[in-house]
Structure 1
Amino acid sequence: MLNWDYSIADAIQLMIPILCSFLSTAVVIVYLFLYRSFKYKTYFAGFLIGLGAFSFVFFESLVIISGWISILHVGRIFHYLGQISACYFLYSMMLFASTLTNEEGGLSKISLCMARIGLGIAVVITLISLIKPDLFISLKTFADYGYNSPGDFGRGAEGPLYTMRDFLLGIYIITLIIISIISLIINKGDMNTFLIVAGTIFAALSAIDDISFFHFGHNFILNQFRFSRLSVGLSVMNVLIMTSVLRDYFHTQEKLTGTHLKLQATYNRLISSELKYRKLAEGTEYAVFSLSRDFKFQTYNKKARLYFNLNEKNLILPLPDLLGRSAENNQISRQIVEENLRLLSRDKESVSFHSTLEAPRTGEPEELEFHIDYYESKDGDVEYICRAEKMKADRLIRSIDKESLQLSIENYIIAIDDVTTRLTGVLRKHLDEGSVLMIKMGLQELIINAIEHGNLNISFEEKSKAMDDKTYLDFVRERQNNPRYKDRTVRIEYSLSNEKVQYIIRDEGEGFDFDETMRTVEKSVEKDFLPHGRGINMAKVLFDKMEYNSKGNEVLVVKEF
C-alpha cells in the first residue's frame, strides 16, 4: 500500500531543486545580459553567485533523481560536483560584498581580500578532493546520517574538508550579513540595500538549517520534509538581489532617460546658438577669429579669411608673421604686436592695438584696430578670441582747427601705438588714409629711437646683435628695469593748425652726433641688409622738415598740408 504522505515528501524533495534550477537559470541569464551591456562589477559578482546557485541546485536535482532510479554511484558524483560548486561561494559572495560599499573604502578592500583568499581555498579544496575524494565527498561510501528518502541514497559520505568548507562558509556568510547591514545603515534604509540584506540573511538561515541536519539529524523548519534548504535559500537570495539590481537598473535608466532629454535639449540650444553665432560672425563687418596658444588661426569668419588671405599656406603662420607680411608694417609695428601678445599671455587680460593690412578689394593699406581676449577652459586649453575692425573716423576730427598737446611717456614699446594713433588721428581731416599711416610710421620710428637709443642707451650694434639672437624684447625689458634708466621719460609736444602739424620729441639720454651716426648706420644697413636703422631716413622723407638739437636728444618734425 502506497504511503501518500511519504510520496508527497519525496515529490517536494525533487520539485524544489528543479524549480530552483529554472529560477537560477533565469537569474544567471539576466545578470549575464547586464554585465555584457554595462561591464559593472556588481553584475559580474551577481552572475557568479547565480551561476554557483544554479550549479548547486542543478546537481542537487540530479542527486535526488539518481537515488530514485538507484544509480547511486552516479548520484555520489553529482553530490560531489554540487558541493564543489558551493565552495566557490567563498569567492563570489565576498566579491559581491565589495560592491556594496565605496570601492576605495576599507570594507570594500577587506571584502576583496577575503574573496581572493576564498577563491584560493576553493581551488585547494578542489585539487585535494580530486586526489582524495573521501576527504570531501566519498564516491564510494553512502552518507548514513539518518536519510530516509530514496532521493538521499545517492549522497556520498562527507569528509573533513566538507566540514571545514561549511565552517568557512559560515564565517563568510556572517561577514556578508554584517557588511550588508552596514551598507543598509550608510544608505539610510534604502530599499535596494534592504532586499540584499534580506536575501543574504535568508540564505544564511537556510544554510544553518542544512548544517543542523548534517551534524544533528534535525531541521528547525519543516523537519518532516527532507529537501535542500540551501537550494531554497540561494534561490530566494538570488531573486531578492536580482530584484534589487533590477530596481537600481530601471531607476538608473529612468535617470539616464531624463539626463538624455536634458542633454538633447541642451544640444538643440547649442546648435541654435551656433547658428546664431555663425550668422552674427559671418554677417558682421568685423574680422572675427580665434587663435591657439601659439597664436595660430583656429576659427575665422569670411572677413578674417579675406583680410589675412587665409589659405592652406598662411594658416600655419602665427598672427605676428601674417601681420609682418604687409608692406606697410615696419619692424616697430611687429614689435608692438609681439609685446601686446606677450602681455596678453602673461596677464591673461584683454589687449588692443593697431596694425595695417591690405584692404581685400582695393589692395590699399588699411589700418585695423585689434581687440584680443584671453580665454582658458576648465581643461586648461588656452584660446584667444579676436576681433579686428576698421579704425572708426571720429566725427569730432572735422571740427578741430587747432590743437596742441604735451605728453610724457615711459619707456614701453607698447605705449607707442596708442600715442601715435592719438597724435595722427586728426590728420585725416587734411591728408588721405595712406599719408596718415605713413606719418604715423615715421612718428613711431622717432619715438622708438628716443626710447631705445636715448633713454635706454641701446647702441646700434647692441640692437643688431640682440635682433640676430632673437632676444631683442628681452634685452629691452632688461634695460627698462635697470635703475639707471627706468625713471627716464620721453616728452612729446604736438601742435596742429590748418597749415601744418608739428611734433617735438625729447628724451633724457646722452644725445648723439646726428651726421656721424647717420653715416655709420647707412653703411651697416646697406652692407649687412639689416632690418632696422632706416627710421630716421624714413622720417626725413615723410616730413617736410626735420631738425635735431645740438645735443642730439631732441628732434623737431613738421608736415605741411
Structure 2
Amino acid sequence: MLWYFPCIIQQYQLVESLMNWDYSLFDAIQLMIPIFCFFMTMSVVIIYLFLYKNFHNKIYSTGFLFSLTAMFFVFFESLLIIYGWLGLYEEGRIFHFAGQMTASYFMFTLLMFSSALMEKATLISKAVEKMAYIGLGAAVLLTVVSLIKPELFISLSEASDIAQLTPGNFARGKEGILLSVRDLVMGFCIFVLVIMSAISIVINKANIKTILIAFGNFIATFTAIDDLIFFHFGHSFYLNGFRFSRLSVGLSFMSFIIIIAILVDYIMTQNRLNDTHDILQSTHKKLQLSEQKYRHLAEGVDQAVFSLSKDYKFLSYNKKASQYFHLAKEEIDLSFPDLLGKFSNIENKGVSRQILLENLRQLSSEKESAFFHSVINDPRTGEPEELEFHIDYVDSDDGEIEYICRAEKMKANRLIRCIEQEKLQLSIENYIIAIDDVTTRLTSALNKYMDSGSSLMIKMGLQEIIINAIEHGNLNITFEEKSQALKENRYLDFIRERQVDPLYKDRMVRIDYVLNSDYVQYLVRDEGVGFDYKSTMRMVDHSVEQEFMTHGRGINMTRVLFDKVEYNSKGNQVLLVKNFKE
C-alpha cells in the first residue's frame, strides 16, 4: 500500500547523486526550468487567493482553483524530472502518478475558468459550468479506480515506453488505458477553453485583462497539446532535444501573463478610482457650497420653505416654516395635512383639509405643481392668517419622491386699491380644487373696505356655501351620506365617484358677484333638486351643538358672517350680502 503515496526523500542519496553529477549544462538548464515554473505558478496561486479574498469575483475564484491545480502538477512534474535525472526511478514513478492524477482535475478547473470568462454570456457560461461538474465527477471516479488499479492509469513498477529517450523521462511509469481516456477528455476541455477564450475576446474586446488572459490560455493550450502528442507519439512539435513538460512551461507563461493582466487591470482600476475620488471631492465641495447657499437663502427669505416625503412627512424646513406650523419634536412625525389641520382655524378646518388633499392628490397624479391657499392661526397672535402655498413635485433618479414647498402670507394687490366697483358671473364644475381659486378671486378686493381678518372670514363662509352647492346640490350627497363617508374616512373617494356619475357630472355651480362701496353680494345657485332650508337649519342647529359634527357648520357660519342670507323656495339658490356701512 505504501506505493500509493510519495516516499520520504532520502537526503544522503539525493546529495550523493548531486555531488556525482555528470550531465552537461544543457541538462542542468532543463532541470531548472520546471523548478522555476513551480515558483511562478505558486506566486499566481497566492495572488489569486488575495484577489478573491478582497474582490470575490468568479474569475478570481476559478483562477485560484485552476492555478492551484497547475501548481501541484508542475510540482510533481519537477520532482519526477529531478528523480529521473538522479536515477531514483521507483520514487519518480510515484510523482509521475501524482502529477498526472492532479492533471485529471483540469477537467474541472479548466471548464470552470472558461465559464468565468463567459460570464456576460449567461447561457453559455451555465452550460460550461455544468460540464465542469461532470468533469469533476469523472476526475474523482478516475482517482478512485486508479488508486485501486494503478496499472490502468500509471504503472508504479514498469517503465514507460518513452522512458529511455532522455534523462528527464527515466522515471516515468508505463501509461495505461485510463490515461489515454483522460487525455481524450482533457483534449475536449482544452478545445472548450480555446473556444471560450476566442468568444470572450469578441465579447470583451475593449477589456485588456480578458485579452491577456485569453492569450495565456492559448499558450497553455498549445503546450498541453504538444505534451499529449509526445506521450502518445514519442515526439513534440518543437525542441525535441529537451525533455521537460511543455505544459509546465505553458502554464507558467500563462501564469506570468495573468499576473501582467491583473496588474494592468489593477493599475487601470486604481487610476479610475483616483479620478472618481477627485471628482467626488470636487462634487462634495460644490454640494457643501450649494447647501450653504441654500440654507442662507432659505433662512433669509420671508417664506416658509420645507420639503416633504412621498407620504407628506417633513424632511427639512427653515425657521419660518417652524414658526408657521409650530414644528416641535412631537409634530415632526405628523403628515403635512394633519399638521396643517391641527393649526388651522377650527371654523373652516374641514374645507381647508379637503382643498389641501385634493391639491396633493392632483399633484401626485399630474407630477407638476400645485398652488392653493389655506388658513392657519398666527403663531404669535392666534388670529387666522391666510397663506399662499406653492408645491413642486420632484422625482429623483433613484425613484424617491419629494415635494418642495413654499408658503407665505397673502400679498395685497395694488390693483385692489383702484377698484370702485366690479361685477362678475362665474360657472364652476364640481371640483373641490376649484373652490380656493374662485373664493380668492371673489374676496381679494374686500381688503379695501374691511380689515384682513374680516375679509378672510367672508372667504371662509363663501367656501362653505360653494362646497355645499357642489356636494349637497349638484352631486346630491345627503347629510347622512356625508356623515357616514366622513366616519369611514372615504369621503374624497365618495365625491370622485359622484363627479364622474353621468347623472351629475355635467352640472355647474353659478355665482353672480357684485361689489361696490356699500356692500358685497354673492348669489350662488346649483343645479340640484334643492332642499328644505328651514327644516335643515333646525336639524343642523341641533346636530352641530349636540354631536359636534365636522360638517353642517357652513350654514351657521354664513348666518353669522353675512348681514343677509336668503334661500329661494326650492333651496338651490342662496343670496349672501355683507354691508360695509352700518
- Give TM-score scaled by structure 2 length: 0.89
Equivalent residue in structure 2 for 1:527, among 522, 538, 546 = 546
Question: How far is 1:188 from its partner?
Answer: 5.1
1:13 is aligned to 2:30: yes
Taking structure 1 as reference, are residues 48 and 432 closer, same or farther at Cα in structure 2, changes over 3 Å only? same
CA–CA distance in 2 between the matches of 1:189 and 1:280?
48
Residue 320 of structure 2 corresponds to 303
SS state at 1:222 partner: coil
Deviation, structure 1 residue 167: 2.0
Question: Size of the alignment, in residue pairs?
Answer: 560
1:56-112 superposed Cα distances (whole Å, 9 cap, x missing partner):
221222223333454433322222221121112222222222233353344433432
Aligned to 2:172: 155
CA-atom RMSD, angstroms? Answer: 2.6
Instruction: Provide the residue aligned with 1:80 in structure 2.
Output: 97
Counterpart for residue 535 of structure 2:
516
Asked whether the 8 Å contact 1:513–1:552 carries over to 2, the reply is yes
| Aligned position for 1:544 | 563
Give 1:125 deviation, angstroms: 1.4
Match of 1:305, SS? helix
The aligned counterpart of 1:278 is 295
> Which structure 1 residue ranges, 5 or more long, are not aligned?
none
Counterpart position of 2:509: 490
Aligned in 2, Cα 1:482/1:108: closer, same or farther, shift over 3 Å? closer
Give the Å deviation of 1:149: 5.1
Partner of 1:99: helix, strand, or coil? helix
In the TM superposition, 1:349-360 aligns within 5 A as 349-360=368-379
Deviation at 1:369, TM superposition (A): 0.9
Aligned to 2:118: 101
Tell me: CA distance 1:185–1:468, structure 2 relative to 1, closer, same or farther (3 Å). closer
Q: Which residue of 1 is the match for residue 445 of structure 2?
A: 426
Aligned residue runs from structure 1 range 190-339, under 5 A? 192-325=209-342, 326-328=344-346, 329-339=348-358
Q: CA deviation at 1:394?
A: 0.6
Q: Answer yes or no: is 1:136 the counterpart of 2:153.
A: yes
* Corresponding residue number in structure 2 for 1:49: 66
**Equivalent residue for 1:116?**
133
CA shift in 2, pair 1:224/1:437, >3 Å? same
Distance in 1 (CA, whole Å) between partners of 2:439 and 2:27 is 108
* Structure 1 position 452, deviation (Å): 2.5
Q: Secondary structure at the match of 2:72?
A: helix
TM-score (structure 1 length as normaliser): 0.92
Structure 1 range deviating more: 308-317 or 416-425: 308-317
CA offsets 1:267-324 (integer angstroms, 9 cap, x no match): 3323322222222222222111222222222222222122111223222222222222
Note closer, same or farther for the CA distance 1:178–1:324 as it changes in structure 2 (3 Å cut): closer
* CA drift at 1:226: 2.2
Distance 1:121 1:346 in 2: 62
- Show the counterpart of 2:7: none
The structure-2 alpha-carbon separation of the partners of 1:338 and 1:187, relative to structure 1 and needing over 3 Å to count, comes to closer
Q: CA deviation at 1:4?
A: 9.8
Over 3 Å counting, the alpha-carbon distance change for 1:546 and 1:196 in structure 2 is closer
CA distance in structure 1 between the aligned counterparts of 2:121 and 2:96, rounded to whole angstroms = 40
Contiguous gaps of at least 5 residues in structure 2:
1-18
Deviations 1:135-193 (CA, angstroms, capped at 9, x unpaired)? 22223333342425555443332222222222222222223223323333445597655
Note the 1:33-72 alignment, pairs <5 A: 33-72=50-89
What is the correspondence of 1:371-386 to structure 2 with a 5 Å cutoff? 371-386=390-405
User: Closer, same or farther in 2 for the Cα pair 1:404/1:112, shift >3 Å?
Assistant: same
Kept in 2: contact 1:494–1:504 (CA 8 A): yes
| Per-residue Cα deviation, 1:490-528 (whole angstroms, up to 9, x for no partner) | 222222222322222222333333323211222233333
Does residue 32 (structure 1) correspond to residue 57 (structure 2)? The answer is no
2-structure distance, mates of 1:410, 1:217: 99
Q: Give the deviation of 1:11 after TM superposition.
A: 1.3
Query: Alignment identity in percent?
Result: 60
- 1:340 CA drift (Å): 1.7
Are the structure 2 counterparts of residues 512 and 232 from structure 1 closer, same or farther at C-alpha, using a change threshold of 3 Å? Answer: closer
State the one-letter code of the partner of 1:154: A
Instruction: Give the direction of change, closer, same or farther, for the CA distance of 1:197–1:491 in structure 2 (3 Å limit).
Output: closer
Question: How far apart are residue 355 of structure 1 and its match?
Answer: 0.8
